[in-house]
Structure 1
Amino acid sequence: MTGSVDVDGPAAAAAAEPEDAAPQLYYPNPIAFFAGTLGPSYVRDVGNGSEFIWCPEWHKHPEALSRIEAVWRAWEYLRMDGSLGISTWWINHADPHMRMLMAPNGCFKKCVYNGHTERTKPEHLSLPHIEPEMDLYPDY
């Protein structure tokens, strides 16, 4: 078999298999992710007298937008892991970023939001959120 080439080896098998399609995103952008999952997941008293600070127009703060996008992308990837994905997401992504964002000396430190929003249900204590004008974020 001198001079023969093994065309049926692992490389040929790998080349013949179609590549798996990437999973579809659950949320189209970080703003939808915040409104649908992240904001409702954090039940905190925010504003005057609270140890946590939050701005309902968080998307206007570059650091907040960047961090929420990072948390969203990690969530989109880790949600597919049925074993430890969500736990890994909380421990390594959501909590560290949200601790930084809601810290008294965080990016909302000088924000004028006073912690009061109109709510139809007083028991709904998720982080406040005002929908942005989407033309401000053409990539989302």
Structure 2
Amino acid sequence: MSDFSSGFDDGFGDGSAPDVKPPAADEPAELVFSNPLEFFVNVLGPSYVREVNGGSEYVWCPQWYKHVEGLSRVEAMWRAWEHLRGDGAFGMSIWWLNHADPHMRVLMAPNGPFKKCTYDGHAPRPEMASLPHVDPEQSLYPL
């Protein structure tokens, strides 16, 4: 039987996952990472090896955390990873298929939130702060 873990760099630096036992049913899970930035640096960033920007089909901003959508999606992936990491059977597969890959497809899309950024720098967003919105009539959603 093959040992698939030999030589695998999982982003933790020593080739092994952190020693965190799954929580009992009545206690909250201990987080491996304290925030989305730490998660990105240790897991997500090293997991996606792609040529980005400069003619590539993928776009990325090195200052992704300055984009509301970028930060929100990376935080969603981090929280899902923290929740699913204890499932030794399907947790990571579920995380990749249902969380990481869909979010990263949107983030790295040529028309995604990093469209104007380059590998060398962050392009501030134009004045538009969010999707256009006009308040509906009061009768639609009474307060």
**Could you say whether these structures have the same fold, taking a TM-score greater than 0.5 normalized by the shorter chain as the test?**
yes
Question: Distance in 2 between the 1:87 and 1:74 partners?
Answer: 12
Kindly tell me: are residues 36 and 19 of structure 1, through their superposed partners in 2, closer, same or farther at Cα, counting changes over 3 Å? closer
Matched residue, 1:102: 108
Q: Does 1:36 align with 2:42?
A: yes
Kindly tell me: are residues 29 and 51 of structure 1, through their superposed partners in 2, closer, same or farther at Cα, counting changes over 3 Å? same
Which structure 1 segments of 5+ residues have no match? 1-17, 118-140
Task: Describe the superposition over 1:85-125 as per-residue Cα deviations: whole angstroms up to 9, x where unpaired.
Answer: 000000000000000000000000112x2x359xxxxxxxx
Q: Does 1:63 align with 2:69?
A: yes
* Structure possessing the higher relative contact order (Cα contacts under 8 Å, 6 or more residues apart): 1
Which structure 2 segments of 5+ residues have no match? 1-23, 122-143
Q: Does 1:91 align with 2:97?
A: yes
Give secondary structure in 1 for the equivalent of 2:115: coil
Aligned identity (percent) is 61
Matched residue, 2:53: 47
Question: Distance in 2 between the 1:44 and 1:35 partners?
Answer: 15
CA contact (8 A) 2:51 2:58 kept: yes
Question: Distance in 1 between the 2:26 and 2:99 partners?
Answer: 26
Q: Does 1:80 align with 2:86?
A: yes
Q: In proportion to residue count, which structure has more helix?
A: 1
Question: Distance in 1 between the 2:73 and 2:43 partners?
Answer: 15
- What TM-score results when the alignment is normalised by the length of structure 1? 0.67
- What TM-score results when the alignment is normalised by the length of structure 2? 0.65
Deviation at 1:24, TM superposition (A): 0.3
